[in-house]
Amino acid sequence: MSLLLEPYTLRQLTLPNRIAVSPMCQYSAADGLANDWHLVHLGSRAVGGAGLVFTEATAVTAEGRITAQDLGLWNDAQVAPLQRITRFITAQGAIPGIQLAHAGRKASTHRPWLGKRGSVKPEDGGWVPVGPSRIAFDPEHTAPSELSLAQIREVIQAFVSAAKRALTAGFKVVEVHAAHGYLLHQFLSPLSNQRRDEYGSCFENRIRLTLQVTEAVREVWPKELPVFVRVSATDWVEDGWNPDETVELARRLKALGVDLIDVSSGGTSVHAEIPVGPGYQTRFAERVRKESEIATGTVGMITEPAQAEHILRTGQADIILLARELLRDPYWPLHADDDLGGNKAVWPAQYQRATSREQPIHESDLRD
Ligand SMILES: Cc1cc2nc3c(=O)[nH]c(=O)nc-3n(C[C@H](O)[C@H](O)[C@H](O)COP(=O)(O)O)c2cc1C
């Protein structure tokens, strides 16, 4: 029996298995509104058997978008198109999750496939981003304007409003994006945060915004449903955010009622030297799970069912998040079930004949 395909319960929510679609920006929305692309993209992965299907980083304010084409939940009109998607995901037996995000100084960039680096300038339809300090991500990015204390309060409120809308839209898991060099991570990391007020310099001050956002989201998210936080365990740069700080942050988040830490890495610095390889971030998830005594998700170059199963069996993480592998093969969970010798995953009724490879078949055979 594979653990990977076993249900997993957090609070009163049971995921049908431990495979999650990791958040993946599609850069395909107009005005933050989900459309047919998002329905088919996310819907396909629910059909493919993933237990938890996360939306891409969904911006809590318009200026918090990485690109002008990101999904958003900063107004009520953005709820209905997402509701259509959660309805479909739920009908496939999967759980819809949403990642709420603010890009901070990494906002207002080009869609990646255009091959243009750096910021879209205001005169070209972009905007000046905001951040903890006036430090640009790299020379090609616009330096952000420094958030005032009043603006910080507005950011917290934007996360809360977006969480309420996400609930109305039918999401069951909310994930606060505090990783990959986006706004909350920018406050965590001394590389991007050089403030002298209560949000900067010492560890207690740098984690303040992530704690305040998470606490406020937890307050409006129903008690029976889980809250995740995605963190970058390390900046992979000396004097950057590090794994010891991550372990301590995870302890604080657990005390606020966070259910699972989704452990990624990097994103703050272009100078990071990342030893990429199969499962290269999993050791951080394991450390957080053991030392902070909280459930973890692991992500990053996990591609093989046996690899995922091993991670779970050896207690390194509680769920497996897959990104690119699920782009390559939306049916990965169904194939994984085959590979691991189980019969837990159920092909959609409409596709069940796909599993018989031996016999010829005609439309008329499909009636029984
Ligand atoms: C197209 C694409 C878009 C992504 N967008 C997001 C995102 O919106 N939020 C996020 O936290 N990570 C994002 N990521 C990172 C993935 O969630 C994941 O952490 C990373 O790709 C490593 O996993 P993998 O090796 O399974 O692809 C994105 C990755 C890809 C490939």
Which residues lie closer than 8 Å to 177 by C-beta, 6 or more apart?
Answer: 23, 57, 99, 100, 101, 102, 184, 230
Q: In ligand 1, which atom is closest to the CA atom of 299?
A: 23
Average pLDDT over residues 267-290: 97
Cβ pair 106, 137 in contact under 8 A: yes
- How far is 333 from 320, CA to CA, in rounded Å? 11
Task: Render pLDDT for 310-363 as a digit per residue (tens, 0 to 9).
Answer: 999 999 999 999 999 999 999 999 999 999 987 777 789 898 877 777 777 777
Under the banding of pLDDT at 50, 70 and 90, the label for residue 365 is low
Which residues lie closer than 8 Å to 252 by C-beta, 6 or more apart?
Answer: 207, 211
- How far is 207 from 175, CA to CA, in rounded Å? 17
- Per-chain mean pLDDT for the chain: 96
Q: Please work out whether the CB of residue 334 comes within 6 Å of at least one atom of ligand 1.
A: no
Q: Residue 242's pLDDT is what?
A: 98
Annotated catalytic residues are: 182
Which residues lie closer than 8 Å to 219 by C-beta, 6 or more apart?
Answer: 160
Q: Please work out whether the CB of residue 324 comes within 6 Å of at least one atom of ligand 1.
A: yes
Map out the domains of the chain with their CATH numbers.
Answer: 8-360 (3.20.20.70)
Average pLDDT over residues 191-207: 98
Q: Please work out whether the CB of residue 97 comes within 6 Å of at least one atom of ligand 1.
A: no
SS3 readout for the chain: CCCCCCCEEECCEEECCCEEECCCCCCCCECCECCHHHHHHHHHHHHCCCCEEEEEEEECCHHHCCCCCCCECCCHHHHHHHHHHHHHHHHCCCEEEEEEECCHHHCCECCHHHCCCCECCHHHCCCCCEECCCCCCCCCCCCCEECCHHHHHHHHHHHHHHHHHHHHCCCCEEEEEECCCCHHHHHHCCCCCCCCCCCCCCHHHHCHHHHHHHHHHHHHCCCCCCEEEEEECCCCCCCCCCHHHHHHHHHHHHHCCCCEEEEECCCCCCCCCCCCCCCCCHHHHHHHHHHCCCEEEEECCCCCHHHHHHHHHCCCCCEEEECHHHHHCCCHHHHHHHHCCCCCCCCCHHHHHHHCCCCCCCHHHHHC
Model pTM above 0.95 = yes
Task: Render pLDDT for 51-104 as a digit per residue (tens, 0 to 9).
Answer: 999 999 999 999 999 999 999 999 999 999 999 999 999 999 999 999 999 999
- Residue 364 pLDDT more than 80? no
Q: Residue 366's pLDDT is what?
A: 61
Q: Whose CA is nearest to atom 29 of ligand 1?
A: 24
Q: Whose CA is nearest to atom 1 of ligand 1?
A: 24
Q: Whose CA is nearest to atom 3 of ligand 1?
A: 24
User: % helix / strand / coil in the chain, to the nearest 5?
Assistant: 40, 15, 45
